[in-house]
Structure 1
Amino acid sequence: MSETPTPAQALILWRLLGRQGTALNSEIKPEKAPRDALQKAGLLAVEKEGRSSRLTVTDKGWHWAGQHLRDPLPPAMRVLQDWLTRLHHHLDVTGATLAEFVGPAPERVPPEPKARKAKTPPKTRTAPKAEAVPPDPDRLRARIEQAYLACTGGRKAAPVRLSALRGALADLDRATVDGGLAAILSGDPSIRLTRISDPKALDDAEREAAFDPAGEPFHEIWIHA
């Protein structure tokens, strides 16, 4: 370009000077061709800032502007033309420079660095839980007696509903408890399983908890010694 900017190029300079000589490209959005021409002529500096570019009027650009306040602008910019003319007369009377009138640009605060996304710590692989191993027959017999005594408050020779016994053995599955009750039926003289013949004495929970090995449900357990 020549040393004299075109009106379109001059508008970019005036816009920047109205912002004290510097602004982000994304803020004023100049057309690329006149912006690049100003940069090539040394009237405008362009530097990367964040995701945009910062445009700054150079000393050469300031000097040109101070000497060309009355240069013609496009007809649509007549208001700006009139104000620049008044500014020229003001500077001529006061002896001030354009840079003194505009004032220094505010100190630029560098953009804060983006916070780095914390890496998700790798998942710790845990060993699979070992399947619960049913207690051996002797241990299961002892567990049933412990649950029985817990239900009776330590007394023997007292009936305990199987619903209560199963509740006290909640850590064992039903099949395991049923296996212990079946062993008792097969020949443990100190423990008996009994039935409640009156259906009115049973609720749904009692019927659900009954031990029914052969179609004859048992509802209570007794430990005698």
Structure 2
Amino acid sequence: MNFQPSPLQALILWRLLTSEGRAYLTDIRPKPKRRDREALLEAKFIEEQWRRKPQGSRAIYVQLTDRAWAWAGEHMDAKLSHRSPAAGPILQSFLARLQPILQSRHITLAEIFSSTQAPPPSEDSEQQLREAYFHLSGGERNIRVRLAQLRQQLGAIPRPRLDELLLKLQREGKLVLSPLDDSREILPEDQKAALSVAGFKRHLVYMQK
């Protein structure tokens, strides 16, 4: 079944998404009409069950399914209803969720909404990175170099582009990004320069090739 939610149904889905995919029916705004609930249930985008609320009364509890999460991830450009006053609070909740993620990954709103996309890392950028690394390592491979020092040397390369280059070279096996295991060694500049990989901070670079 190739189900495509209506603009109002899509807005309801986003309301649930911003509350970790679940909410009591009475708390959902815009309030789902019966036909919208039935359509989402039939498409297996939501599940419902009766639960007892903290106050003691029983109410319908709505949860998104994996299918709904997958649809949302692939249809972030889906048309949403602009008639419902609930759209504003949903947007505010979405932005509040997005902010700490952007901050932790050092992504600015300008990078997302700018009309020009940053070009991918070039061979010239890679050469600059190698020259900076070997300058700091005394010309040796597999010597730990602080990422903070590299960033200082490569200040002309925008941080998002440098991060992308570092991750690309790690995937290719040309370098390794490592954490500082001894917390006593981590300086404020190390914290600021760290690159998050799989949820863990990396402070050091080891050039392999």
- TM-score bracket for the superposition, by shorter chain length: 0.3 to 0.5
1 or 2, which has the higher strand percentage?
2
**Greater relative contact order (Cα < 8 A, sep 6+):** 2
Instruction: Say which one has the larger Rg.
Output: 1
Normalised by the length of structure 2, the TM-score is 0.41
Normalised by the length of structure 1, the TM-score is 0.38
